[in-house]
Amino acid sequence: MERAKHRRRAAKVAELSTQLTALLGTLRGAMATQPAPVASSARPERLTITQAGATTLVEIADIVWVEAADQYVLIHTDKAQHLMRESMAELEERLDPARFVRIHRSAIVALPHVRRFEREPAGTGRVLVGKDTWLPVSRTRTALLRERLG
């Protein structure tokens, strides 16, 4: 009886494997005939932030800097701070690289708001954004920031 059950299970696994292989072949064929999606060069003009049932629209042009806050990002503008559930990497992809630069694993700055850049002896640095906010610049990103600042 056990041998019969084992054979029946093996036959069922073989049948499912064949069906899965055929399905994957169909999907590959369908994907090969479709044109590749064109990446949109258009960047969003504003971010939509939903918290506690309310939706806030933040203009990208108003963003001064962004900091990591666990699984969230804290977006700083001249007038307010907004908490958004998104990773730094995801937000960095959405922001215009001509205007924003990641200066540290925990910070992205808007280049027009950078007032001063100071290099530290250890190879790291710091930038002044706004009136009195100093942000760290990691050693690996100092060269990029200097290049972007001109």
Q: CA 5 to CA 22: how far, in whole Å?
A: 26
Domain ranges of the chain: 46-149
Which of 139, 140, 141, 84 has the alpha carbon at shortest distance from 109? 141
Give the pLDDT confidence of 91-121 residue by residue, as tens digits.
999 999 999 999 999 999 999 999 999 998 8
Which of 72, 70, 81 has the alpha carbon at shortest distance from 130? 81
Four-way CATH pick for 46-149: 3.40.50.10470, 1.10.10.10, 2.40.50.1020, 2.60.40.1180: 2.40.50.1020
∠ at Cα 36 (32, 42), nearest 5°? 170
Give the pLDDT confidence of 41-92 residue by residue, as tens digits.
567 888 988 888 889 999 999 999 999 998 899 999 999 999 999 999 999 9
